[in-house]
Structure 1
């Protein structure tokens, strides 16, 4: 991996766990919420645990619960989840050049456990030009992965006692966590790249809001993501 000259850096597994602490706090809440939503979507605790361990995608797992309640076909669920999680391919492709000196198996392990939140931490570290190692990335990913599974199990254990998760706003927990992580990435004085990021987020939010009036929520998410990519591409070319 190419090293960057800097005074600070992350090299150990423990450093990765420490970098993951903000994500851990968010996952405890959102994972707990998913466990409750999963139970109320007629999933049992084992199914919730397996979904968190194998699918390991907060947004796609919430989407799956909605599709199951709507009696969607297996084919429809698989295709929808595939499209929702397709962004992980792009994130993995972005991260992989930084670990080109590592083995294929290690790169696969990094990509398999990469999430929106861990990628945000990774991207911030790259932008700050801090040195980091594979062990740091593994600590970041593993800490998030274990936290997510444990949190969803805990949520599933108490899910039978909450008949209507929406009344507590638990279905909004994922959106709230993304908003919180987004805000923490910025300083008071915004740089040019940060202003571009805000423009992309606003375009995604507006397009999502508009498309929800015309298409299903899963399709609206895909279209708004494409709009965000388009806007980001235009702004990048015009720098």
Structure 2
């Protein structure tokens, strides 16, 4: 990924980590249909595993706000988190002892090939420019086992979004909108077969969504 963009992203979340953890402690901002997509990913593998064990990577986990929801989906769900920001990971480790969290870029994950049944990249590609998506998708595919599932969530559209004063700090948040047909094509080129795409309208709620929200579920093919 572009070094300048990566450095800017890391610096942003190092600055806002404490406020982010306070403002977004869990998945209460998510719509029910959004969470149902995560549940479906887990349930597909839980039904197949003799012991119900499902290894899920929360790629771009931030403060770990998805971890309680993942754990609620079954005793056999084993979540692992990866994030670029050490400050965000410090919150994740404090809130979720016993869960493995590692510092890593999405384009260079320190995990063995085929380790995970599922990868959830929940709004973590919003800081990835469209031209860099193929590299990220290739890496997410690599850590999936054959037949494993990748679930993406992002703001759908074209162009960039700059938010001044992000999370109450004197910083600018640069985010990239992603055009779902382009996301789908990049996934297919990376060796992932798209099984579901969904763009839903923004909700007029405390989530303060301003763009359509995009979701794609894709399976590693071999």
| TM-score for both structures, normalised by structure 2 | 0.31
Structure whose residues are more often helix by fraction = 1
- Whose strand fraction is larger, Structure 1's or Structure 2's? 2
Larger Rg: 1
